[in-house]
Amino acid sequence: MKFEVITLFPEFFELSLRQSLLGKAIDKKLFEIEIINLRDYATDRHNTVDDTPFGGGGGMVLKVEPIDRCLAALGYTRRGEESQPNGKEKILLTSAAGRKFDQRTAIGYSLCDRLAIICGHYQGVDERITRLYRMEEVSIGDYVLTGGEPAATVIVDAVARLIPKVLGNFESATDDSHMDEIVGAPSYTRPAEYEALEVPAALLSGNHREIDKYRRRMAIEKCLRNRPDLLKQAELTEDEQEMVRQLDENLDVE
């Protein structure tokens, strides 16, 4: 799997993606990441990549030509020129106006061979680029960032950790929040007692059925507190639905 991040600020990615687990995974060649400076594809001697919007209004718009040249140089084919639809190659455009990026989207992207991420900037990108190339506009949340770089970092991180072997222990990904539509269960580690706060006995029992049951209950409780919207859509057994009703009645709101 290869990520190709197209940005006006290549330095932004120096630290964030090259350390910790992802840095190690890159060293082990479990995936590749290329950071591409959009200015290298400008068409004039001032390396201009943006311009004022037609029709007026504030801000600047990323020009279509540099992005087109960049995608062509990377070997992406335009709409209608694809030999056959290739679901394994995708172009993403970060934008506050995009479709919501979530765990389900991350799982889908992790199955790609190649993922280009164009970091949007200023007032956005000349819309014609979306007519030239098939691309998905993605938003990482309902707020507006100054640029797409933090969004691209989030996307690369969430997708890369799903690539086989990137996490030492894949169970840690399957136990994640959102993997089964609700948030993950709370975790504990040593010491078993801290200032009279004890780790729940079920987790110390060594009985895996009991541990799983306890974790599911705690995940449902946390979800009810923090993300009741997710619980409404989650597939729960009848026992779990009853559990939600009981928890809901007794939930003390902080």
> Closest separation between CB of residue 96 and ligand ADE, Å?
3
The Cα–Cα gap between 29 and 23 comes to: 10
* 95 touches ligand ADE by CB under 6 A: yes
> Do residues 212 and 206 make contact, with C-beta atoms less than 8 angstroms apart?
no
The Cα–Cα gap between 68 and 70 comes to: 5
Q: 177: closest CA among 168, 186, 166?
A: 186
The encoded tokens of residue 48 equal 């201009």
**Cis geometry, peptide bond prior to residue 191 (ω within 30 degrees of 0):** yes
Q: What are residue 34's DSSP bridge partners?
A: 4
Q: Which residue number, 7 or 139, has a Cβ lying nearer to ligand ADE?
A: 139
> Do residues 31 and 59 make contact, with C-beta atoms less than 8 angstroms apart?
no
Give buried/exposed letters for 136-174 (b at 16+ CB in 10 A, else e).
Answer: bbbbbeeeebebbbebbbbbbebbbbbbeebbeeeeebe
> Do residues 124 and 62 make contact, with C-beta atoms less than 8 angstroms apart?
yes
* 143 touches ligand ADE by CB under 6 A: yes
* Options 14-22, 102-110, 140-148, 192-200: segment touching ligand ADE (CB under 6 A): 140-148
* 140 touches ligand ADE by CB under 6 A: yes
Among 141, 186, 191, 200, interactor with ligand ADE by CB under 6 A: 141
> Do residues 63 and 120 make contact, with C-beta atoms less than 8 angstroms apart?
no
Q: Which residue number, 145 or 182, has a Cβ lying nearer to ligand ADE?
A: 145
Among 120, 162, 166, 220, interactor with ligand ADE by CB under 6 A: 120
* 158 touches ligand ADE by CB under 6 A: no
* 151 touches ligand ADE by CB under 6 A: yes
> Closest separation between CB of residue 25 and ligand ADE, Å?
24
Give the number of residues in contact with ligand ADE, rule: CB under 6 A. Answer: 12
Q: Which residue number, 66 or 148, has a Cβ lying nearer to ligand ADE?
A: 148
Among 25, 35, 112, 145, interactor with ligand ADE by CB under 6 A: 145
Q: Which residue number, 119 or 244, has a Cβ lying nearer to ligand ADE?
A: 119
The Cα–Cα gap between 231 and 244 comes to: 9
* 153 touches ligand ADE by CB under 6 A: no
* 115 touches ligand ADE by CB under 6 A: no
Which residues contribute to the site for ligand ADE (CB under 6 A)?
A: 94-96, 120, 139-141, 143-145, 148, 151
